[in-house]
Amino acid sequence: MKTKEQITKEIEALKAVRPNVRPRSMFGDDNLGSIDAEIDVLENDMDNDDIYDKYDRTQYSEYILSSALYARQWINDEEDDDLAEGWPLKENQE
């Protein structure tokens, strides 16, 4: 389980990278909405039930739901890579 300090650091990293991330993936998925979902999960320590309740597929895409669940897995140490590392940057930022 990640510490409060690790979570706070990752929230800051996600907020810092967000302005430089491409708004949409190559498939048209909402990258910024997905980052916002990850931040939400980290800030509110949401469990899987909370995530499914908030990010149901009637209002949100599978992509956003998946990102929120990934953030929970990261908190639980089920994922090794930091969340902010994998986001595609805008062309002028690469």
Residue 83 lies in domain: 4-93
pLDDT of 88 = 87
pLDDT of 38 = 98
pLDDT-flagged residues of the chain (< 50) = 93-94
pLDDT of 82 = 94
The pTM of this model reads 0.92
pLDDT of 92 = 54
CA distances from 86 to 3, 45, 58, 62 (A): 21, 21, 26, 18
Counting the structural domains of the chain, the total is: 1
